[in-house]
Amino acid sequence: MTATSDREQMAYVSAQAADARINVELDTGDMTLNIGPQHPATHGTLRIAARLDGEQVIAAEPIMGYMHRGYEKLCEVRTYPQCTTLINRIDWLGSFANEVPFILAAERLMGVEAPPRAQWIRTILFELSRIANLSLFLGDMGVQVGALTPVFFAFRDRERVLNQIEEVTGGRFHPNFDRIGGLKDDIPKGWVDETRSVMVKMRTFCDEMEDLLVGNEIFQARCRGVGVIPADMALGYGLSGANLRASGIDWDLRRDANPGLAWDQIDWRVWTHPDGDSFARYWVRLQETREATRMVDQLLDGIPSGPIMAKVPRIIKVPAGEAYISTENPLGEMGYYVVSKGDLGPFRVKIRTPSFNNISVVPWVMKGVYVPDVITILGSLYFILGDIDR
């Protein structure tokens, strides 16, 4: 090379030096990549410390506690009705569904049973919060793989469901509507017909998601065969909900351990998928959302008449005892182990949240995957931060 100027000479020399550095110094050592705590895929503040070898993840360790609010401790110093305020904020996308198992556990200890009408309306609101929760997932999963349209559809249509919940309970996100012995209030006039038309719209939304994502080649390429969780691993980690059913295990607490709600009185089915990959998890949730709209339709047809509140004392004291009740929440098995000592409030509450177990599989499932797959797996495992940290 002929140096035409000092400047070019300099460039030449530094380029040669860089080459030498690459050959000598640039080894393929591991690198730590922090995903989150403020990453959109983390739905809040979950941090994943991933150790990378090139593009491949060697080890991934979720680091949480950014949102730990100590609900188990706080429940010990509150009365039973006050606890539901906290419990609403565990899985904030399906709040009403959180309240139900806790109230059912308290009812079991008290020997109180809510009247049939209350149980039916509970079931309807439960399924509505499932639709509201899962529809956001259905759109959000598109964002994880780079498709922006579905999430706008999801926010648009979820609002309709939230409106229906708000009309009954007064709260979009935190209804705080379930009471020991029944419900706070009855459903308003005209609500049944409105909800029915919303369910038609939600089925259209599910069809749109099916067209936009399930049949989409890019989506399939990103999700098929990614993050496969075999059935025995899913059981051992205590995965629940759609994550378990996507691994081919036919288990749904609504059908198999119904704690008294109206699920056994309607006709519906449990969806499973044999693959156990990210695609299967998406597919199962899509079918579940659609199934839930059909369930709401049937439930709306058969609301029994009668009171919405059983006779309970004004000051609620729960007799001594222990009860564990779990229900099939939008995210999976949500359970409360309530220990009572005959006081106004619980002695100890163990909150078994689905996301905590669902996300505990991350270190195992992320071993050996590539960086873009981390996001797909996180997205498809679907967690709510409040549900992990409590």
Partner 1 sequence: MGDQPTPEETLPADEDRENLLTELSESLGEILVDSYLRPHEDLWLRVRVDNWHDAVRTAKDAGFAYFGFLSAIDWNIAPEGRYENTEFDAGLIEEDEEPVELDASTGYAGGDTRFQLLMQLHSLDRQLGVILKADLGEDLTVDTIRDLFPGADWHERETHEMFGIVFQGHPTLQPLYLPTEFEGHPLRKDFPLLARQVKPWPGVVDIEEIPEHLEAQLEAEVMAAFEAEGGEA
Chain residues in the site for partner 1 (CB under 8 A): 64-65, 68, 70, 72-74, 76-79, 81-82, 108, 111, 232-233, 235-239, 249, 251, 256-257, 315, 317, 319-324, 326, 333, 335, 337, 339-345, 348, 350, 352, 356-357, 360-361, 364, 389
- Largest separation between any pair of C-alpha atoms in the chain: 98
Amino acid at 155: F
**Angle at alpha carbon of residue 70, lines to 386 and 34, rounded to 5°:** 50
Q: C-beta of 200: minimal distance to partner 1 in Å?
A: 35
Q: Per DSSP, what are the bridge partners of residue 56?
A: 53, 370
Q: C-beta of 106: minimal distance to partner 1 in Å?
A: 14
Q: Are 358 and 119 in contact (CB under 8 A)?
A: no
Nearer to partner 1, 211 or 232 (CB): 232
Q: C-beta of 105: minimal distance to partner 1 in Å?
A: 10
CB atoms within 10 A of CB 387: 30
- Residue 209 main-chain phi, psi, to 5 deg: -65, -35
Q: C-beta of 175: minimal distance to partner 1 in Å?
A: 17
CB atoms within 10 A of CB 4: 8
Nearer to partner 1, 52 or 233 (CB): 233
Nearer to partner 1, 200 or 257 (CB): 257
CA distance 151 to 129: 18
Q: C-beta of 319: minimal distance to partner 1 in Å?
A: 6
- Spatial neighbors of 288 by CB under 8 A, at least 6 apart, are 130, 134, 242, 271
Nearer to partner 1, 40 or 342 (CB): 342
Q: C-beta of 52: minimal distance to partner 1 in Å?
A: 20
Task: List Cα–Cα distances, 340 to 75, 149, 262, 330, in angstroms.
Answer: 12, 49, 27, 27
CA distance 260 to 300: 18
Nearer to partner 1, 164 or 240 (CB): 240
Q: Are 135 and 158 in contact (CB under 8 A)?
A: yes
Nearer to partner 1, 193 or 322 (CB): 322
Please name which of 388, 384, 378, 382 lies closest in space to residue 57, comparing C-alpha atoms. 378
Q: C-beta of 364: minimal distance to partner 1 in Å?
A: 7
Nearer to partner 1, 33 or 257 (CB): 257
CA distance 134 to 28: 41
